[in-house]
Structure 1
Amino acid sequence: MGRGGSRGGGRGGRGGRKPFRGGNKNNRSGGRDNRTESWLDQPRKNELFESYYRMGGFLDEAEFEQMWKSLASDLPNSFRFTGTKSDALAVREIFKERYIPAITAMDFEGQPVEPPKAVEAFPDELVWDMKTHKKIVRRHAPFADFQKFLVAEAASGNISRQEVVSMIPPHFLDVKPGMVVLDMCAAPGSKSAQLAEMIHGDEEERVKKAANNESPNTDDGGDYSDDGRSTGLLIANDTDYKRAGMLVHQVKRLNFPNLIVTQHDASIFPSIELPTGKNGRKQYLKFDRILADVPCSGDGTARKNPNVWGKWTPKDGLGLHNLQLRILFRGLQMLKKGGRLVYSTCSMNPTENESVIAAAIQACGGVSKVQLVDCSDYLPNLKRKPGLNTWKIMDTSTVPGSNDKTAHLFSSWDAFVKAQAKYEKEEPERVFSNKIMPGVFPPIASSEEERIPLERCVRVYPHLQDTGGFFIAVLEKLDDIKVGQITSSNNEASLLQAKTESETATPANAGEMEVDVTEPPTESAPEAGNQSPLKRKLEDTEDAEAEAKRTKTSDTTAELPAPQTEEATPVEATSTTITSAPPPTKEVTKLKSEQQSQSKEHFEYLAADDPNIAAILDFFGISSRFPRDRFMVKNKEGLLLNKLYYTSALAKTIISANKHRGMKFIHCGVITFVAHKIKDKDLMRAPWRLQNEGIRIVEPWANKRIVNCTSKATLHKLLIEMFPKLPRDGSHDIGEVGDQLKDMEIGCCFVRIEQSAGEDGFPFRMVLPLWRHPGSANLMVDKDDRKAMLLRLFNEKDPDIKNHVADKAKAVEAAKANGGGEEMEVEEAERELEEAKEEEGGDADAVAGAVEDVQEV
Structure 2
Amino acid sequence: MGRKNRNRQRAQQDRDGKPEGKRNRDDAGWGAGYSEIIKENKLFEHYYTELKIVPEGEFEEFMETMREPLPATIRITGYKSHAKEILHTLKEKYFKEVQDLEVDGQKIEAPQPLSWYPDELAWHTNLSRKILRKSPLLEKFHQFLVSETESGNISRQEAVSMIPPLLLKIEPQHKILDMCAAPGSKTAQLIEMLHSDMDVPFPEGFVIANDVDNKRCYLLVHQAKRLNSPCIMVVNHDASSIPRLHIDQDGKKDVLFYDRILCDVPCSGDGTMRKNIDVWKKWTTSNSLHLHGLQIRIAVRGVEQLAVGGRMVYSTCSLNPIEDEAVIAALLEKSEGALELADASADLPGLKYMPGITSWKVMTKEGQWFSDWSEVPTSRHTQIRPTMFPPTDPEKLANMKLERCMRILPHHQNTGGFFVAVLVKKAPMPWNRRYPKYLQPVTVLHVDMKCSVCYSPPPPKKMKLFGFKEDPFVFLTEDDPIFPPIQAFYNLSPDFPKMNVLTRTHEGKKRHLYMVSKELRNVLLNNSERMKVINTGVKVWSRNTDGEQFGCAFRLAQEGIYTLCPYIRARIINISVEDVKVLLTQENPFLSKLEDDAHNQAKKLEMGSIVLRYLPDPQDLDAPQCPIDLCGWRGKTSLRAFVPRNDALWVFSSH
Any idea what SS the aligned residue of 2:364 has? strand
Task: Measure how far apart 1:703 and its partner are.
Answer: 2.0
Q: Is the 8 A contact 1:725 1:776 kept in 2?
A: yes
Task: Measure how far apart 1:458 and its partner are.
Answer: 0.5
Any idea what SS the aligned residue of 1:205 has? coil
In the alignment, the residues of structure 1 paired with residue 24 and residue 206 of structure 2 have an alpha-carbon distance, to the nearest angstrom, of 41
In the alignment, the residues of structure 2 paired with residue 164 and residue 27 of structure 1 have an alpha-carbon distance, to the nearest angstrom, of 18
Counterpart selection for 2:540 from 660, 672, 679: 672
What letter matches 1:658 in structure 2? Answer: N
Structure 2: any 5+ residue segments left out of the alignment?
Answer: 1-5, 27-32, 439-453
| 2:26 is equivalent to residue 22 of structure 1 | no
Counterpart selection for 2:607 from 738, 743, 746: 746
Task: Measure how far apart 1:595 and its partner are.
Answer: 11
What letter matches 1:697 in structure 2? Answer: T
Which range moves more in the overlay, 370-379 or 60-69?
60-69
Any idea what SS the aligned residue of 2:415 has? coil
Task: Measure how far apart 1:586 and its partner are.
Answer: 4.3
Counterpart selection for 1:319 from 290, 309, 313: 290
- The answer for the alignment partner of 1:724 in structure 2 is 589
Q: How does 1:74-93 map to 2 (within 5 A)?
A: 74-93=69-88
- The answer for the alignment partner of 1:736 in structure 2 is 597
In the alignment, the residues of structure 1 paired with residue 153 and residue 427 of structure 2 have an alpha-carbon distance, to the nearest angstrom, of 40
Q: Is the 8 A contact 1:461 1:467 kept in 2?
A: yes
Q: How does 1:174-213 map to 2 (within 5 A)?
A: 174-202=169-197, 204-206=198-200
| 2:645 is equivalent to residue 786 of structure 1 | yes
- The answer for the alignment partner of 1:97 in structure 2 is 92
In the alignment, the residues of structure 2 paired with residue 30 and residue 470 of structure 1 have an alpha-carbon distance, to the nearest angstrom, of 16
In the alignment, the residues of structure 1 paired with residue 464 and residue 98 of structure 2 have an alpha-carbon distance, to the nearest angstrom, of 58
What are the superposed Cα offsets for residues 716-748 of structure 1, whole Å, 9 maximum, x if unpaired? 21111112234xxxx555543222112311111
Which range moves more in the overlay, 76-85 or 148-157?
148-157
In the alignment, the residues of structure 2 paired with residue 583 and residue 467 of structure 1 have an alpha-carbon distance, to the nearest angstrom, of 51
| 2:369 is equivalent to residue 409 of structure 1 | yes
- The answer for the alignment partner of 2:442 in structure 1 is none
In the alignment, the residues of structure 1 paired with residue 354 and residue 291 of structure 2 have an alpha-carbon distance, to the nearest angstrom, of 23
- The answer for the alignment partner of 1:473 in structure 2 is 421
What letter matches 2:518 in structure 1? Answer: A
In the alignment, the residues of structure 1 paired with residue 402 and residue 9 of structure 2 have an alpha-carbon distance, to the nearest angstrom, of 31
Task: Measure how far apart 1:593 and its partner are.
Answer: 7.4
| 2:327 is equivalent to residue 361 of structure 1 | no
Q: Is the 8 A contact 2:263 2:315 kept in 1?
A: yes
What letter matches 1:159 in structure 2? Answer: I
Q: Is the 8 A contact 1:24 1:30 kept in 2?
A: no
What letter matches 1:123 in structure 2? Answer: P
Any idea what SS the aligned residue of 2:545 has? coil
Task: Measure how far apart 1:691 and its partner are.
Answer: 0.8
- The verdict on how the C-alpha distance between 1:745 and 1:78 changes in structure 2, with shifts beyond 3 A counting, is same
What are the superposed Cα offsets for residues 570-615 of structure 1, whole Å, 9 maximum, x if unpaired? xxxxxxxxxxxx999545xx44379999821311000134332232
- The answer for the alignment partner of 1:695 in structure 2 is 561
In the alignment, the residues of structure 1 paired with residue 214 and residue 196 of structure 2 have an alpha-carbon distance, to the nearest angstrom, of 30
Counterpart selection for 1:440 from 388, 397, 402: 388
Task: Measure how far apart 1:200 and its partner are.
Answer: 2.0
- The verdict on how the C-alpha distance between 1:594 and 1:71 changes in structure 2, with shifts beyond 3 A counting, is closer
What letter matches 1:645 in structure 2? Answer: Y
Any idea what SS the aligned residue of 1:629 has? helix
In the alignment, the residues of structure 2 paired with residue 364 and residue 85 of structure 1 have an alpha-carbon distance, to the nearest angstrom, of 38
Q: Is the 8 A contact 2:340 2:423 kept in 1?
A: yes
Task: Measure how far apart 1:563 and its partner are.
Answer: 9.8
Structure 1: any 5+ residue segments left out of the alignment?
Answer: 1-19, 208-228, 398-406, 421-430, 484-561, 569-581, 797-857
- The answer for the alignment partner of 1:404 in structure 2 is none
Any idea what SS the aligned residue of 2:58 has? helix
Q: Report how many residues are paired.
A: 626
What letter matches 2:648 in structure 1? Answer: M
In the alignment, the residues of structure 2 paired with residue 596 and residue 611 of structure 1 have an alpha-carbon distance, to the nearest angstrom, of 36
Any idea what SS the aligned residue of 2:360 has? coil
| 2:408 is equivalent to residue 460 of structure 1 | yes
| 2:131 is equivalent to residue 266 of structure 1 | no
Q: Is the 8 A contact 1:23 1:31 kept in 2?
A: no
Q: How does 1:372-383 map to 2 (within 5 A)?
A: 372-383=341-352
- The answer for the alignment partner of 1:650 in structure 2 is 519
- The answer for the alignment partner of 1:124 in structure 2 is 119
In the alignment, the residues of structure 2 paired with residue 189 and residue 622 of structure 1 have an alpha-carbon distance, to the nearest angstrom, of 34
What are the superposed Cα offsets for residues 162-197 of structure 1, whole Å, 9 maximum, x if unpaired? 000000000111111101010000000010111111
Cα-Cα RMSD: 2.9
Task: Measure how far apart 1:640 and its partner are.
Answer: 5.5
Q: How does 1:134-173 map to 2 (within 5 A)?
A: 134-173=129-168
Q: Is the 8 A contact 1:275 1:657 kept in 2?
A: yes
- The verdict on how the C-alpha distance between 1:56 and 1:606 changes in structure 2, with shifts beyond 3 A counting, is same
- The answer for the alignment partner of 1:755 in structure 2 is 616
Q: Is the 8 A contact 1:384 1:460 kept in 2?
A: yes
| 2:156 is equivalent to residue 297 of structure 1 | no
In the alignment, the residues of structure 1 paired with residue 89 and residue 261 of structure 2 have an alpha-carbon distance, to the nearest angstrom, of 35
Identical-residue share of aligned pairs (%)? 37
| 2:314 is equivalent to residue 348 of structure 1 | no
Q: TM-score, normalised by structure 1?
A: 0.69
Task: Measure how far apart 1:662 and its partner are.
Answer: 4.0
Q: Is the 8 A contact 2:463 2:531 kept in 1?
A: no
- The answer for the alignment partner of 2:496 in structure 1 is 626
- The answer for the alignment partner of 1:306 in structure 2 is 277
What letter matches 1:752 in structure 2? Answer: R
- The verdict on how the C-alpha distance between 1:370 and 1:598 changes in structure 2, with shifts beyond 3 A counting, is closer
Counterpart selection for 2:579 from 714, 720, 724: 714
- The verdict on how the C-alpha distance between 1:441 and 1:236 changes in structure 2, with shifts beyond 3 A counting, is same
Q: Is the 8 A contact 2:180 2:239 kept in 1?
A: yes
What are the superposed Cα offsets for residues 800-830 of structure 1, whole Å, 9 maximum, x if unpaired? xxxxxxxxxxxxxxxxxxxxxxxxxxxxxxx
In the alignment, the residues of structure 2 paired with residue 596 and residue 61 of structure 1 have an alpha-carbon distance, to the nearest angstrom, of 49
In the alignment, the residues of structure 2 paired with residue 597 and residue 244 of structure 1 have an alpha-carbon distance, to the nearest angstrom, of 10
In the alignment, the residues of structure 2 paired with residue 583 and residue 104 of structure 1 have an alpha-carbon distance, to the nearest angstrom, of 69
